[in-house]
Homo-oligomer: A and B are copies of this chain.
Amino acid sequence: MRIASLPDFLLQRIDRATGQPVNRQIYQVLREATLSHQLPAGLQLPSSRELARELAMSRNTVTHAYEQLIAEGYLETRAGAGTFIADTVPDQIVDICRNSRGDTDHLGQVGLSNRGAQLIQRAGVSALQWGAFMPGVPDVTQFPSKVWSRLQNKHWRRSRAELLSYGQGGGYLPLREAIAEYLRVARSVNCRTDQIIITTGIHQSIDLAAKLLGEHGDRAWVEEPCYWGTRSVCHSLGIEPVPIPVDAEGMQVYQTDASHPAQPPRFIFVTPSHQYPLGTVMSLSRRRLLLEYAAAHKAWIMEDDYDSEFRYGSRPLASLQGLDTHERVLYMGTFSKTMFPGLRIGFLVVPEGLSAAFATGHSELYRGGQVFTEAILADFMTEGYFASHIRRMRVLYGERLRLLQQAIEHHFGDAIDFSDGDAGLHLALHLPPECNDVAISSEARAAGIITRPLSGYYMQAASTKRGLMLGYACVPDAQIAPAFDKLAGIIKRHWPA
Protein backbone atom coordinates (compact mmCIF):
# COMPACT_ATOMS: atom_id res chain seq x y z
CA MET A 1 0.00 0.00 0.00
CA ARG A 2 1.18 3.52 -0.76
CA ILE A 3 0.38 6.84 0.75
CA ALA A 4 0.27 9.23 -2.14
CA SER A 5 -0.28 12.18 0.15
CA LEU A 6 3.09 11.82 1.92
CA PRO A 7 4.30 14.98 0.16
CA ASP A 8 1.45 16.94 1.81
CA PHE A 9 2.31 15.39 5.16
CA LEU A 10 5.90 16.55 4.84
CA LEU A 11 5.08 20.00 3.47
CA GLN A 12 2.91 20.67 6.49
CA ARG A 13 5.83 20.03 8.77
CA ILE A 14 8.85 21.41 6.97
CA ASP A 15 9.69 25.02 7.68
CA ARG A 16 12.47 26.53 5.56
CA ALA A 17 12.50 29.60 7.79
CA THR A 18 14.09 27.74 10.71
CA GLY A 19 17.43 27.49 8.98
CA GLN A 20 17.66 23.81 9.82
CA PRO A 21 18.72 21.78 6.76
CA VAL A 22 15.68 20.44 4.94
CA ASN A 23 17.08 16.90 4.72
CA ARG A 24 17.38 16.93 8.52
CA GLN A 25 13.78 18.12 8.83
CA ILE A 26 12.56 15.36 6.50
CA TYR A 27 14.50 12.86 8.58
CA GLN A 28 12.97 14.11 11.83
CA VAL A 29 9.41 14.25 10.56
CA LEU A 30 9.55 10.73 9.12
CA ARG A 31 11.27 9.38 12.23
CA GLU A 32 8.69 10.84 14.58
CA ALA A 33 5.80 9.78 12.37
CA THR A 34 7.15 6.23 12.34
CA LEU A 35 7.61 6.12 16.09
CA SER A 36 4.12 7.46 16.64
CA HIS A 37 2.51 5.12 14.09
CA GLN A 38 1.25 8.03 12.05
CA LEU A 39 3.06 6.21 9.27
CA PRO A 40 2.35 2.52 9.85
CA ALA A 41 4.93 -0.25 9.51
CA GLY A 42 4.91 -1.75 6.03
CA LEU A 43 3.88 1.47 4.31
CA GLN A 44 5.70 1.96 1.02
CA LEU A 45 7.28 5.37 0.52
CA PRO A 46 7.60 7.11 -2.84
CA SER A 47 11.02 6.78 -4.51
CA SER A 48 13.43 9.56 -3.62
CA ARG A 49 13.14 10.87 -7.19
CA GLU A 50 9.35 10.99 -7.01
CA LEU A 51 9.24 12.58 -3.57
CA ALA A 52 11.85 15.18 -4.52
CA ARG A 53 9.76 16.19 -7.52
CA GLU A 54 6.59 16.48 -5.43
CA LEU A 55 8.38 18.56 -2.79
CA ALA A 56 10.16 20.67 -5.44
CA MET A 57 13.50 19.83 -3.80
CA SER A 58 16.72 18.36 -5.07
CA ARG A 59 16.83 14.61 -5.11
CA ASN A 60 19.96 14.65 -2.94
CA THR A 61 18.04 16.25 -0.09
CA VAL A 62 15.56 13.42 -0.03
CA THR A 63 18.19 10.72 -0.57
CA HIS A 64 20.18 11.95 2.44
CA ALA A 65 17.13 11.77 4.68
CA TYR A 66 16.17 8.33 3.42
CA GLU A 67 19.70 6.96 3.89
CA GLN A 68 19.90 8.17 7.44
CA LEU A 69 16.54 6.59 8.28
CA ILE A 70 17.55 3.32 6.65
CA ALA A 71 20.83 3.33 8.59
CA GLU A 72 18.96 3.81 11.86
CA GLY A 73 16.40 1.12 11.08
CA TYR A 74 13.31 3.29 10.65
CA LEU A 75 13.06 2.50 6.96
CA GLU A 76 13.98 -0.62 5.08
CA THR A 77 14.54 -1.35 1.42
CA ARG A 78 13.15 -4.45 -0.20
CA ALA A 79 14.98 -5.58 -3.34
CA GLY A 80 13.11 -4.54 -6.44
CA ALA A 81 10.16 -3.27 -4.45
CA GLY A 82 11.18 0.04 -2.92
CA THR A 83 11.47 1.71 0.46
CA PHE A 84 9.13 0.90 3.35
CA ILE A 85 8.47 1.93 6.93
CA ALA A 86 10.31 -0.73 8.95
CA ASP A 87 8.43 -3.40 10.85
CA THR A 88 10.45 -3.36 14.01
CA VAL A 89 10.38 -0.39 16.30
CA PRO A 90 8.44 -2.05 19.10
CA ASP A 91 10.47 -0.77 22.04
CA GLN A 92 10.13 2.81 21.12
CA ILE A 93 6.45 3.05 20.27
CA VAL A 94 5.09 6.27 21.59
CA ASP A 95 1.38 6.11 21.07
CA ILE A 96 0.45 9.69 20.54
CA CYS A 97 -3.10 8.67 19.86
CA ARG A 98 -5.54 8.98 22.70
CA ASN A 99 -5.22 6.08 25.09
CA SER A 100 -7.90 6.88 27.65
CA ARG A 101 -10.40 4.36 26.37
CA GLY A 102 -13.91 5.52 26.99
CA ASP A 103 -15.87 3.99 29.79
CA THR A 104 -19.24 3.43 28.19
CA ASP A 105 -20.70 2.42 31.52
CA HIS A 106 -20.49 6.04 32.53
CA LEU A 107 -21.91 7.66 29.45
CA GLY A 108 -22.44 10.99 31.09
CA GLN A 109 -18.81 11.13 32.15
CA VAL A 110 -17.51 10.89 28.61
CA GLY A 111 -19.73 13.81 27.70
CA LEU A 112 -22.93 12.33 26.32
CA SER A 113 -26.03 14.45 26.74
CA ASN A 114 -29.01 13.02 28.60
CA ARG A 115 -30.76 12.12 25.39
CA GLY A 116 -27.53 10.64 24.03
CA ALA A 117 -26.94 8.54 27.14
CA GLN A 118 -30.54 7.30 27.11
CA LEU A 119 -30.27 6.39 23.47
CA ILE A 120 -27.15 4.34 24.01
CA GLN A 121 -28.46 2.68 27.15
CA ARG A 122 -31.66 1.63 25.41
CA ALA A 123 -29.96 0.70 22.14
CA GLY A 124 -31.74 -2.19 20.45
CA VAL A 125 -29.41 -2.66 17.51
CA SER A 126 -27.56 -5.94 17.30
CA ALA A 127 -23.90 -6.50 16.52
CA LEU A 128 -24.74 -9.40 14.21
CA GLN A 129 -26.71 -8.75 11.06
CA TRP A 130 -26.57 -12.06 9.21
CA GLY A 131 -27.25 -15.71 10.04
CA ALA A 132 -29.97 -18.02 11.45
CA PHE A 133 -32.35 -16.66 12.83
CA MET A 134 -31.63 -12.98 12.25
CA PRO A 135 -35.06 -11.29 12.15
CA GLY A 136 -35.97 -8.85 9.42
CA VAL A 137 -33.18 -9.66 7.00
CA PRO A 138 -34.03 -11.00 3.52
CA ASP A 139 -31.94 -13.62 1.73
CA VAL A 140 -29.51 -11.25 0.07
CA THR A 141 -27.65 -14.14 -1.57
CA GLN A 142 -30.68 -14.54 -3.85
CA PHE A 143 -30.52 -10.97 -5.07
CA PRO A 144 -30.12 -10.86 -8.89
CA SER A 145 -26.74 -9.19 -8.73
CA LYS A 146 -25.93 -9.81 -12.39
CA VAL A 147 -28.95 -7.85 -13.53
CA TRP A 148 -28.15 -5.11 -11.05
CA SER A 149 -24.50 -4.97 -12.18
CA ARG A 150 -25.58 -4.71 -15.77
CA LEU A 151 -27.95 -1.82 -15.07
CA GLN A 152 -25.27 -0.17 -12.98
CA ASN A 153 -22.65 -0.48 -15.71
CA LYS A 154 -25.08 0.93 -18.24
CA HIS A 155 -25.50 4.04 -16.11
CA TRP A 156 -21.79 4.39 -15.54
CA ARG A 157 -21.20 4.34 -19.27
CA ARG A 158 -23.74 7.16 -19.73
CA SER A 159 -22.41 8.92 -16.64
CA ARG A 160 -24.74 11.93 -16.55
CA ALA A 161 -23.44 14.60 -14.22
CA GLU A 162 -26.82 15.20 -12.59
CA LEU A 163 -26.85 11.62 -11.34
CA LEU A 164 -23.58 12.12 -9.49
CA SER A 165 -24.28 15.51 -7.96
CA TYR A 166 -26.45 16.39 -4.98
CA GLY A 167 -30.03 15.15 -5.10
CA GLN A 168 -32.93 17.44 -4.41
CA GLY A 169 -36.68 17.74 -4.54
CA GLY A 170 -37.68 14.44 -2.96
CA GLY A 171 -35.49 12.16 -5.05
CA TYR A 172 -34.90 11.00 -8.62
CA LEU A 173 -38.16 11.57 -10.46
CA PRO A 174 -38.37 8.33 -12.47
CA LEU A 175 -37.89 6.34 -9.26
CA ARG A 176 -40.64 8.31 -7.55
CA GLU A 177 -42.88 7.56 -10.54
CA ALA A 178 -42.08 3.87 -10.42
CA ILE A 179 -42.75 3.70 -6.68
CA ALA A 180 -46.04 5.61 -7.01
CA GLU A 181 -47.22 3.23 -9.69
CA TYR A 182 -46.14 0.20 -7.72
CA LEU A 183 -47.88 1.40 -4.55
CA ARG A 184 -51.12 2.28 -6.33
CA VAL A 185 -51.38 -1.17 -7.78
CA ALA A 186 -49.81 -3.43 -5.17
CA ARG A 187 -50.75 -1.62 -1.98
CA SER A 188 -53.81 0.41 -2.94
CA VAL A 189 -52.04 3.57 -1.86
CA ASN A 190 -53.68 6.73 -3.18
CA CYS A 191 -50.79 8.79 -4.42
CA ARG A 192 -49.32 10.89 -7.14
CA THR A 193 -45.63 11.04 -7.93
CA ASP A 194 -44.99 14.26 -6.03
CA GLN A 195 -46.22 12.68 -2.81
CA ILE A 196 -43.32 10.19 -2.88
CA ILE A 197 -40.21 11.24 -0.95
CA ILE A 198 -37.17 8.99 -1.32
CA THR A 199 -35.36 8.45 1.98
CA THR A 200 -32.62 6.17 3.26
CA GLY A 201 -35.23 3.99 4.96
CA ILE A 202 -37.83 3.93 7.71
CA HIS A 203 -35.51 5.62 10.22
CA GLN A 204 -34.98 8.66 8.01
CA SER A 205 -38.67 8.75 7.11
CA ILE A 206 -39.56 8.97 10.81
CA ASP A 207 -36.84 11.55 11.43
CA LEU A 208 -38.08 13.76 8.59
CA ALA A 209 -41.75 13.55 9.57
CA ALA A 210 -40.96 14.12 13.24
CA LYS A 211 -38.87 17.21 12.45
CA LEU A 212 -41.36 18.72 10.01
CA LEU A 213 -44.60 17.84 11.79
CA GLY A 214 -43.60 17.44 15.42
CA GLU A 215 -42.34 19.64 18.21
CA HIS A 216 -39.95 18.79 20.99
CA GLY A 217 -42.13 17.57 23.85
CA ASP A 218 -44.81 16.02 21.62
CA ARG A 219 -46.06 12.51 22.26
CA ALA A 220 -46.30 9.61 19.86
CA TRP A 221 -48.42 6.54 20.35
CA VAL A 222 -46.50 3.42 19.54
CA GLU A 223 -47.71 -0.13 19.53
CA GLU A 224 -46.87 -2.17 22.63
CA PRO A 225 -44.80 -4.11 21.59
CA CYS A 226 -43.13 -2.20 18.75
CA TYR A 227 -39.99 -1.86 16.68
CA TRP A 228 -37.09 -0.52 18.75
CA GLY A 229 -36.00 1.87 15.98
CA THR A 230 -39.24 3.84 16.11
CA ARG A 231 -38.79 4.48 19.82
CA SER A 232 -35.13 5.42 19.44
CA VAL A 233 -35.66 7.93 16.64
CA CYS A 234 -38.57 9.51 18.54
CA HIS A 235 -36.54 9.77 21.74
CA SER A 236 -33.63 11.34 19.89
CA LEU A 237 -35.95 14.13 18.74
CA GLY A 238 -37.57 14.80 22.10
CA ILE A 239 -40.80 13.04 21.15
CA GLU A 240 -42.08 10.79 23.89
CA PRO A 241 -43.31 7.35 22.80
CA VAL A 242 -46.48 6.29 24.64
CA PRO A 243 -47.13 2.54 24.50
CA ILE A 244 -50.66 1.50 23.47
CA PRO A 245 -51.23 -2.26 23.82
CA VAL A 246 -51.91 -4.44 20.82
CA ASP A 247 -54.50 -7.21 20.78
CA ALA A 248 -55.52 -9.64 18.05
CA GLU A 249 -57.09 -6.77 16.07
CA GLY A 250 -54.14 -4.41 16.38
CA MET A 251 -53.50 -1.25 18.40
CA GLN A 252 -56.25 -0.80 21.01
CA VAL A 253 -57.83 2.39 19.82
CA TYR A 254 -61.37 2.76 21.13
CA GLN A 255 -64.18 5.13 20.37
CA THR A 256 -64.13 6.91 23.68
CA ASP A 257 -61.15 8.94 24.75
CA ALA A 258 -61.62 7.81 28.34
CA SER A 259 -59.41 4.79 27.85
CA HIS A 260 -56.56 6.85 26.38
CA PRO A 261 -54.06 9.23 27.86
CA ALA A 262 -55.75 12.61 28.18
CA GLN A 263 -53.63 14.49 25.67
CA PRO A 264 -54.00 13.28 22.07
CA PRO A 265 -50.70 12.38 20.46
CA ARG A 266 -49.08 14.18 17.54
CA PHE A 267 -48.18 10.87 15.91
CA ILE A 268 -49.58 7.34 15.92
CA PHE A 269 -47.11 4.72 14.71
CA VAL A 270 -48.71 1.51 13.48
CA THR A 271 -47.85 -1.58 11.46
CA PRO A 272 -51.35 -2.52 10.27
CA SER A 273 -50.41 -5.04 7.57
CA HIS A 274 -48.15 -7.16 9.77
CA GLN A 275 -47.77 -5.99 13.33
CA TYR A 276 -44.14 -5.73 14.32
CA PRO A 277 -43.14 -7.91 16.07
CA LEU A 278 -46.26 -10.01 16.69
CA GLY A 279 -47.41 -10.53 13.10
CA THR A 280 -51.09 -9.76 13.63
CA VAL A 281 -53.14 -7.90 11.02
CA MET A 282 -55.15 -4.84 12.04
CA SER A 283 -58.87 -5.46 11.57
CA LEU A 284 -60.93 -3.26 9.32
CA SER A 285 -63.03 -1.91 12.19
CA ARG A 286 -59.90 -0.99 14.15
CA ARG A 287 -58.51 0.69 11.05
CA ARG A 288 -61.62 2.81 10.75
CA LEU A 289 -61.51 3.74 14.43
CA LEU A 290 -57.91 4.74 14.10
CA LEU A 291 -58.58 6.91 11.04
CA GLU A 292 -61.53 8.58 12.78
CA TYR A 293 -59.53 9.20 15.92
CA ALA A 294 -56.66 10.72 13.94
CA ALA A 295 -58.98 12.95 11.93
CA ALA A 296 -60.83 14.13 15.05
CA HIS A 297 -57.64 14.87 17.00
CA LYS A 298 -55.42 16.03 14.14
CA ALA A 299 -52.92 13.31 14.81
CA TRP A 300 -50.64 11.99 12.07
CA ILE A 301 -50.81 8.25 11.47
CA MET A 302 -47.41 6.85 10.54
CA GLU A 303 -48.13 3.63 8.67
CA ASP A 304 -45.03 1.44 8.66
CA ASP A 305 -45.52 -1.09 5.87
CA TYR A 306 -42.08 -2.66 6.16
CA ASP A 307 -42.60 -6.16 4.74
CA SER A 308 -46.13 -6.46 3.37
CA GLU A 309 -44.86 -7.68 0.00
CA PHE A 310 -44.35 -11.09 1.55
CA ARG A 311 -47.70 -12.73 2.21
CA TYR A 312 -48.02 -16.48 1.90
CA GLY A 313 -51.39 -17.83 0.93
CA SER A 314 -53.74 -15.29 2.39
CA ARG A 315 -55.09 -12.37 0.42
CA PRO A 316 -52.88 -9.27 0.29
CA LEU A 317 -54.25 -6.40 2.32
CA ALA A 318 -54.78 -2.87 1.15
CA SER A 319 -52.92 -0.13 2.97
CA LEU A 320 -54.41 2.00 5.71
CA GLN A 321 -53.42 5.03 3.66
CA GLY A 322 -55.80 3.91 0.91
CA LEU A 323 -58.74 4.02 3.34
CA ASP A 324 -57.94 7.48 4.64
CA THR A 325 -60.13 10.33 3.44
CA HIS A 326 -58.74 13.02 5.75
CA GLU A 327 -55.10 13.18 4.68
CA ARG A 328 -53.86 12.08 8.08
CA VAL A 329 -51.75 9.09 6.99
CA LEU A 330 -48.06 9.11 6.10
CA TYR A 331 -47.14 5.79 4.56
CA MET A 332 -43.58 4.45 4.99
CA GLY A 333 -41.94 1.69 3.00
CA THR A 334 -38.45 0.34 2.49
CA PHE A 335 -36.43 -1.55 -0.10
CA SER A 336 -34.42 -3.18 2.69
CA LYS A 337 -36.64 -6.27 2.66
CA THR A 338 -37.50 -6.47 -1.05
CA MET A 339 -34.00 -5.64 -2.32
CA PHE A 340 -31.25 -5.67 0.33
CA PRO A 341 -30.71 -3.65 3.52
CA GLY A 342 -27.37 -2.15 2.48
CA LEU A 343 -29.10 -0.39 -0.40
CA ARG A 344 -30.36 2.15 2.15
CA ILE A 345 -33.35 3.31 0.12
CA GLY A 346 -36.88 3.68 1.41
CA PHE A 347 -39.74 6.06 0.82
CA LEU A 348 -42.38 8.12 2.48
CA VAL A 349 -45.78 8.91 0.96
CA VAL A 350 -47.08 12.17 2.36
CA PRO A 351 -50.49 13.84 1.97
CA GLU A 352 -50.44 16.04 -1.10
CA GLY A 353 -50.62 19.25 0.90
CA LEU A 354 -47.28 18.37 2.51
CA SER A 355 -45.40 17.16 -0.56
CA ALA A 356 -43.59 20.40 -1.42
CA ALA A 357 -42.51 20.99 2.18
CA PHE A 358 -41.26 17.43 2.54
CA ALA A 359 -39.29 17.54 -0.69
CA THR A 360 -37.58 20.77 0.37
CA GLY A 361 -37.13 19.61 3.95
CA HIS A 362 -35.46 16.41 2.81
CA SER A 363 -32.83 18.21 0.72
CA GLU A 364 -32.30 20.77 3.45
CA LEU A 365 -31.81 18.27 6.25
CA TYR A 366 -29.97 15.44 4.51
CA ARG A 367 -28.51 17.06 1.37
CA GLY A 368 -30.32 14.68 -0.95
CA GLY A 369 -29.92 11.00 -1.66
CA GLN A 370 -27.86 8.61 -3.73
CA VAL A 371 -29.24 9.79 -7.06
CA PHE A 372 -27.11 7.40 -9.09
CA THR A 373 -28.35 4.37 -7.17
CA GLU A 374 -31.89 5.72 -7.34
CA ALA A 375 -31.62 5.74 -11.15
CA ILE A 376 -30.53 2.09 -11.22
CA LEU A 377 -33.38 1.13 -8.91
CA ALA A 378 -35.84 2.97 -11.17
CA ASP A 379 -34.67 0.83 -14.12
CA PHE A 380 -34.82 -2.29 -11.99
CA MET A 381 -38.46 -1.55 -11.19
CA THR A 382 -39.70 -0.37 -14.58
CA GLU A 383 -38.01 -3.25 -16.39
CA GLY A 384 -39.96 -5.71 -14.25
CA TYR A 385 -37.08 -7.18 -12.23
CA PHE A 386 -38.41 -5.86 -8.94
CA ALA A 387 -41.79 -7.55 -9.22
CA SER A 388 -40.34 -10.84 -10.42
CA HIS A 389 -37.72 -10.85 -7.63
CA ILE A 390 -40.48 -10.36 -5.07
CA ARG A 391 -42.52 -13.17 -6.60
CA ARG A 392 -39.55 -15.51 -6.47
CA MET A 393 -38.70 -14.59 -2.88
CA ARG A 394 -42.32 -14.99 -1.82
CA VAL A 395 -42.20 -18.64 -2.83
CA LEU A 396 -38.81 -19.14 -1.19
CA TYR A 397 -39.70 -17.46 2.10
CA GLY A 398 -43.10 -19.16 2.24
CA GLU A 399 -41.32 -22.52 2.08
CA ARG A 400 -38.87 -21.47 4.80
CA LEU A 401 -41.68 -20.34 7.07
CA ARG A 402 -43.25 -23.78 6.59
CA LEU A 403 -39.94 -25.48 7.45
CA LEU A 404 -39.54 -23.42 10.61
CA GLN A 405 -43.14 -24.10 11.65
CA GLN A 406 -42.49 -27.83 11.16
CA ALA A 407 -39.31 -27.67 13.24
CA ILE A 408 -41.14 -25.88 16.05
CA GLU A 409 -43.99 -28.41 15.98
CA HIS A 410 -41.53 -31.28 15.85
CA HIS A 411 -39.90 -30.15 19.10
CA PHE A 412 -42.79 -28.63 21.00
CA GLY A 413 -46.05 -29.81 19.45
CA ASP A 414 -48.86 -27.83 21.02
CA ALA A 415 -46.79 -26.79 24.02
CA ILE A 416 -45.51 -23.70 22.27
CA ASP A 417 -47.38 -21.10 20.29
CA PHE A 418 -46.09 -18.81 17.59
CA SER A 419 -47.49 -15.99 15.48
CA ASP A 420 -46.46 -15.08 12.00
CA GLY A 421 -49.55 -13.63 10.32
CA ASP A 422 -48.66 -15.88 7.41
CA ALA A 423 -46.44 -13.10 6.15
CA GLY A 424 -43.13 -11.32 6.44
CA LEU A 425 -39.60 -12.47 7.22
CA HIS A 426 -39.89 -13.56 10.86
CA LEU A 427 -42.17 -15.20 13.38
CA ALA A 428 -42.62 -14.61 17.08
CA LEU A 429 -42.25 -17.73 19.21
CA HIS A 430 -44.19 -17.32 22.45
CA LEU A 431 -42.70 -18.62 25.69
CA PRO A 432 -44.23 -19.11 29.14
CA PRO A 433 -43.90 -16.00 31.36
CA GLU A 434 -41.45 -17.86 33.62
CA CYS A 435 -38.99 -18.26 30.73
CA ASN A 436 -36.17 -15.74 30.64
CA ASP A 437 -36.10 -14.89 26.94
CA VAL A 438 -33.09 -12.60 27.36
CA ALA A 439 -31.05 -15.41 28.87
CA ILE A 440 -32.17 -17.86 26.18
CA SER A 441 -31.29 -15.38 23.46
CA SER A 442 -27.84 -14.72 24.83
CA GLU A 443 -27.14 -18.43 25.31
CA ALA A 444 -28.29 -19.00 21.75
CA ARG A 445 -26.02 -16.23 20.54
CA ALA A 446 -23.09 -17.99 22.19
CA ALA A 447 -24.07 -21.14 20.31
CA GLY A 448 -24.13 -19.24 17.02
CA ILE A 449 -27.89 -18.73 16.79
CA ILE A 450 -29.19 -15.18 16.51
CA THR A 451 -32.59 -14.42 18.03
CA ARG A 452 -34.10 -11.39 19.72
CA PRO A 453 -35.95 -11.66 23.00
CA LEU A 454 -39.56 -10.58 22.52
CA SER A 455 -39.56 -8.81 25.89
CA GLY A 456 -37.14 -6.24 24.46
CA TYR A 457 -39.89 -4.85 22.25
CA TYR A 458 -42.11 -3.89 25.18
CA MET A 459 -41.89 -0.64 27.13
CA GLN A 460 -43.96 -1.57 30.18
CA ALA A 461 -43.25 -4.42 32.55
CA ALA A 462 -46.97 -5.09 33.04
CA SER A 463 -47.65 -5.85 29.40
CA THR A 464 -44.35 -7.55 28.62
CA LYS A 465 -44.57 -11.02 27.12
CA ARG A 466 -41.76 -13.51 26.73
CA GLY A 467 -40.71 -15.05 23.48
CA LEU A 468 -38.15 -15.11 20.69
CA MET A 469 -38.09 -13.38 17.34
CA LEU A 470 -36.94 -15.79 14.67
CA GLY A 471 -36.11 -14.63 11.17
CA TYR A 472 -36.34 -17.42 8.63
CA ALA A 473 -36.01 -15.55 5.34
CA CYS A 474 -32.22 -15.44 5.30
CA VAL A 475 -31.70 -19.05 6.42
CA PRO A 476 -31.07 -21.64 3.67
CA ASP A 477 -33.74 -24.38 3.74
CA ALA A 478 -31.33 -27.08 4.85
CA GLN A 479 -30.13 -25.08 7.84
CA ILE A 480 -33.51 -24.33 9.35
CA ALA A 481 -34.15 -27.64 11.16
CA PRO A 482 -30.57 -28.08 12.44
CA ALA A 483 -30.40 -24.49 13.68
CA PHE A 484 -33.73 -24.84 15.42
CA ASP A 485 -32.61 -28.13 16.97
CA LYS A 486 -29.85 -26.24 18.74
CA LEU A 487 -32.20 -23.49 19.83
CA ALA A 488 -34.81 -25.99 21.03
CA GLY A 489 -32.23 -27.59 23.31
CA ILE A 490 -31.54 -24.23 24.92
CA ILE A 491 -35.24 -23.39 25.27
CA LYS A 492 -35.92 -26.78 26.90
CA ARG A 493 -33.23 -26.17 29.49
CA HIS A 494 -35.00 -22.94 30.42
CA TRP A 495 -38.50 -24.41 30.36
CA PRO A 496 -40.37 -24.00 33.69
CA ALA A 497 -40.48 -27.24 35.67
Interface residues of A (CB under 8 A from B): 1-6, 8-9, 11-12, 38-40, 96-104, 107, 110-116, 119-120, 123-127, 129-130, 134, 137, 140-141, 143, 145-146, 148-149, 152-153, 156, 159, 161-169, 181-182, 184-186, 188, 190-192, 195, 200-204, 207, 211-216, 218, 229, 232-233, 236-238, 266, 298, 300, 315-318, 327, 336, 340-344, 351-357, 360-361, 363-373, 382, 384, 387-388, 390-391, 474
Is B111 touching A353 in the complex (CB atoms < 8 A)?
yes
Asked if A366 and B9 sit within 8 Å, CB to CB, the answer is: no
Contacts of A140 in B (CB 8 A): 161, 164-165
Please, how many angstroms separate the alpha-carbon atoms of A122 and B140 in the complex?
41
A137 touches B165 (CB 8 A): yes
Could you tell me the distance in whole angstroms from the C-beta of A218 to the nearest C-beta in chain B? 8
A341: chain B residues at CB < 8 Å are: 164-166, 367-368
Could you tell me if A101 and B352 are in contact, using CB atoms closer than 8 angstroms? yes
A168 to B128, CA, bound (A): 8
B119 touches A364 (CB 8 A): yes
Partner of A8, one of B11, B101, B161, B316: B316
Number of copies: 2
Residue among A102, A140, A373, A387 with the highest chain B CB neighbour number at 10 A = A102
* Residues on the B chain within 8 Å of A213, using CB: 111-113, 116
Do A4 and B212 form a contact, CB below 8 Å, given A129-B162, A130-B165?
no
Bound-state CA distance A233–B365 (Å) is 6
Max count, chain B CB within 10 A of own CB: residue among A96, A315, A341: A341
User: Which residues in B have their C-beta under 8 angstroms from that of A352?
Assistant: 97-102
A143 touches B164 (CB 8 A): yes
B166 touching A137 by the CB < 8 A rule? yes
A56 to chain B, nearest CB (A): 11
Q: A166-B342, A342-B165 are in contact. Are A357 and B327 (CB under 8 A)?
A: no
By a CB distance below 8 angstroms, the chain B residues around A125 are 168, 360, 363-364, 367
Q: Give which listed residue, B236, B317, B354, contacts A365 with CB less than 8 A.
A: B236
Nearest chain B CB to A340's CB is how many angstroms away?
4
Closest B residue to A134 using CB positions: B165
Question: Considering the chains assembled together, what is the distance between the CA atoms of A42 and B207 in angstroms?
Answer: 37
A356 and B102 contacting across the interface, CB-CB below 8 Å: yes
Which B residues touch A238, using CB under 8 A? 216, 238
CB contacts (< 8 Å) of A185 on chain B: these are 3, 5-6, 8-9, 38-39
**Residues in B whose Cβ lies below 8 Å from that of A361:** 116, 119-120, 123
Evaluate contact between A192 and B342: CB separation under 8 angstroms: no
- Can you offer 8 A-B residue contacts whose CB atoms are under 8 A? A3-B387, A12-B316, A97-B352, A125-B168, A134-B165, A140-B164, A146-B156, A229-B364
Q: How far is the CA of A391 from the CA of B352 in the complex (A)?
A: 47
Flag if B126 contacts A168 (CB, 8 Å). yes
Please state if A101 and B353 are interface contacts (CB–CB under 8 Å): yes
**In the bound complex, do residue B110 and residue A357 qualify as a contact, i.e. CB atoms below 8 Å apart?**
yes
Give the chain B neighbours of A357 by CB distance below 8 A: 102, 104, 107, 110, 112, 116, 120
B111 touches A211 (CB 8 A): no
The reply to whether A102 and B184 form a contact with Cβ atoms under 8 Å apart is no
Identity of the chain B residue whose Cβ is nearest the Cβ of A99 in the assembled complex: B352
| Contact flag A168-B127 (CB < 8 Å), given A98-B190, A119-B361, A327-B98 | yes
Residue in A156, A161, A360, A369 whose Cβ sees the most chain B Cβ within 10 Å: A161
Q: Identify which of B163, B315, B336, B367 contacts A12 (C-beta below 8 A).
A: B315
| For the complex of A and B, 7 pairs with smallest distance between CB atoms | A4-B387, A102-B353, A116-B212, A140-B164, A98-B352, A5-B186, A164-B340
Q: Which residues of chain B are near A391, meaning CB under 8 Å?
A: 4
**Which residues does chain B contribute within 8 Å of A388, judged by CB atoms?**
4
* Bound: A1/B366 CA distance, A: 32
CB distance A342 to B113 under 8 Å?
no
Q: How far is the CB of A233 from the nearest CB of chain B, in Å?
A: 6
Contact residues in B for A110 (Cβ distance below 8 Å): 353-354, 357
Beyond A1-B382, A342-B373, list 10 extra A-B contacts (CB 8 Å): A4-B388, A98-B352, A102-B355, A116-B212, A119-B361, A120-B360, A141-B161, A201-B366, A229-B367, A232-B365
Check B97 against A192 for contact (C-beta < 8 Å).
yes
Q: Given contacts A161-B130, A164-B143, A211-B115, are A360 and B123 in contact (CB under 8 A)?
A: yes
Q: Are A315 and B182 in contact (CB under 8 A)?
A: no
| Interchain CA distance A146-B155 in the complex, whole Å | 11
Is there an interface contact between B201 and A115, defined as CB atoms closer than 8 Å? Answer: no
